[in-house]
Structure 1
Amino acid sequence: MTEGQDCEIAKVARIFINLGAPETQARVMAAQLLKRAGQIAEERGISKVEASETLLKQVIEARQGA
């Protein structure tokens, strides 16, 4: 894992921690979300940032019970 990837994971993990996840689980979920975002970006021809944003919005909405 590169330093850049680790930084991305740490930033996304912080969101999961703020939503109440334990740190270890938050890092795992962040890595999975970023991996999926890369897959979606490639499938749909969009940026990884855009795909990540969409997935994070879904996570937050689900957490809020929307």
Structure 2
Amino acid sequence: LLPYVCGHAPLNNNSSSSDLATEGAWPWQVSLQRGGVHVCGGSLISRSVVMSTANCFDR
């Protein structure tokens, strides 16, 4: 990975785990879905490449 910052989290620490992010608030984050259901998260590392964990994918 390249040693630069992809994005900055907001400085507001008043959020809870039940808060929903607004669309575009975390532009480097992606939701990997099957049948419209979220199964894993990932991070954009370029315009066309998403990094995630191996357990997100079937062999």
TM-score band w.r.t. shorter chain: under 0.3
TM-score, scaled relative to structure 1: 0.21
Rg comparison, structure with higher value: 2
More helix as a share of residues: 1
Structure with greater strand share of residues:
2
Q: Normalising to structure 2: TM-score of the pair? A: 0.22
